[in-house]
Amino acid sequence: MEFLLGLLPVCAFLAALYLMDSYKLIPVLSLGRSLGAGCGAAVAAVVVNMLVSNFTGIPFEPFSRYVAPVTEETLKAVLLVRLLLTRRTGFLVDTAIHGFAIGAGFALVENTGYFLTLGSSSTLLWIVRGFGTAMMHGAATSIAGIIGKAFAERSGSASAATVLPGVVAAIVIHSAFNHFFLTAVTTTQLIILVLPVLMGLVFRSSEKAVRRWLGVGFDTDRELLEMITTGRLGETKIGAYFQSLESRFRGEVLADMVCMLRLHLELAIAAKGLLLMREAGFELPPDPEWKGRLAELDYLEQSIGRTGILAVEPFLHTSRHQLAQLLRV
């Protein structure tokens, strides 16, 4: 029973986060990989902490307050950086869920190790470790992901630097938890109260963004796509806008910009259809052609450059990696 108290709360909360996502943006397999990666980070943290402790000779209490939070949150953040750099997370909510999964995996290994060492020593201890320490690990990494994703969206690209503010925040949270400014029970109660509220706000914000994008409607995208495919784009205000860019971009670049807009619209229409089907409880397999179209979209983005992308952005309502995630390619 004590062992289950140390493991089940964080697993149950992770499952709840997944079920709360009405659009199911994260495949179960991808979530499992993040959970497993968190387990690997915990094993690596044991080795790193042991080496640093043996080398520095820092006593346990200051080590747990000032050193362990740095090593552990940094190791977990490496996984977040990889997710962001490889564009596995398109929206704030899935970054938050992936971050919590990494922290949950870390906590599962850590609490298992403590149980093998301490055994069934105290029910209260395992309540605190299950509802407090384990949830703290998940929350800290999730917050690091949320902040990192926000900075990445603001800067236009993800990097280790954009994740750094989130990692610092996670380290501060972890260190404060280990300082025991409040009693262990009070701290655990605060986590139980605050964490669901925080995640609820993230989910609300992210789902509003998705619904705004859906609200643009199929008709708008379809009409614009029809103008491009039938050659009537030049008769519209959008065509006039592209003509106004002739003095700034070469002809072949303008052609690539129109091709990129066409591909983006095709994929956006497909993604909207999938989202609506998922919301209705249906799950369709990805079309094999989407992967090739996304690769072509990548090529066109590189071809036209950052300035060209900024010129086309007024007609786009989501990014390339968000489309990839929505289409699960």
Quick check: 54 pLDDT over 60? Answer: yes
Which is higher by pLDDT, 248 or 136? 136
Q: Where are the alpha helices (DSSP H) in 180-250?
A: 184-215, 218-229, 237-244
What percent of the chain is predicted at pLDDT more than 90?
31
Per-residue pLDDT of 82-129, as tens digits, reads: 888 876 777 788 889 999 999 999 999 999 998 888 776 678 888 888
**More confidently predicted of 64 and 289:** 64
How does pLDDT run across 240-292, given as a tens digit for each residue? Answer: 777 777 777 888 888 888 888 888 888 888 887 777 777 677 777 777 888 88
Mean pLDDT value of segment 60-85: 92
Confidence band (pLDDT; 50, 70, 90) for 321?
low
Contact between 77 and 166 under an 8 Å Cβ cutoff? The reply is yes
Average confidence (pLDDT) over 217-227? 69
Predicted confidence band of residue 212 (pLDDT cuts 50, 70, 90): low
pLDDT of residue 44: 96
What pLDDT score was predicted for residue 171? 96
> What value does the mean pLDDT of the chain take?
84
Cβ atoms within 10 Å of 64's Cβ, excluding its own: 17
Give me the DSSP letters along 41-86: HHHHHHHHHHHHHHHH---HHHIIIIIHHHHHHHHHHHHHHHHHHT
Is a pLDDT exceeding 70 seen at residue 15?
A: yes
pTM of the shown model: 0.75
Tell me what percent of the residues of the chain surpass a pLDDT of 70.
Answer: 90
- Measured on CA atoms in the order 30, 26, 142, 77, is the torsion positive or negative? positive
Q: What was the pLDDT predicted at 14?
A: 94
122 sits in the region (left: phi over 0; alpha: psi -120 to 50; else beta) called beta
State how far the Cα of 122 lies from the Cα of 125, in Å rounded to an integer. 5
Asked if 245 contacts 294 with a C-beta cutoff of 8 angstroms, the reply is: no
How large is the average pLDDT for residues 195-211? Answer: 80
Residue 324 vs residue 15, higher pLDDT: 15
Whether the pLDDT of residue 216 is over 60: the answer is no
The span from the CA of 126 to the CA of 133, in Å, is 9
Residue 176 pLDDT level (bands cut at 50, 70, 90): very high
Q: How far apart are the first and last CA of the chain?
A: 41
Q: What mean pLDDT is predicted for residues 12-29?
A: 83
For residue 314, pLDDT over 90 is answered with no
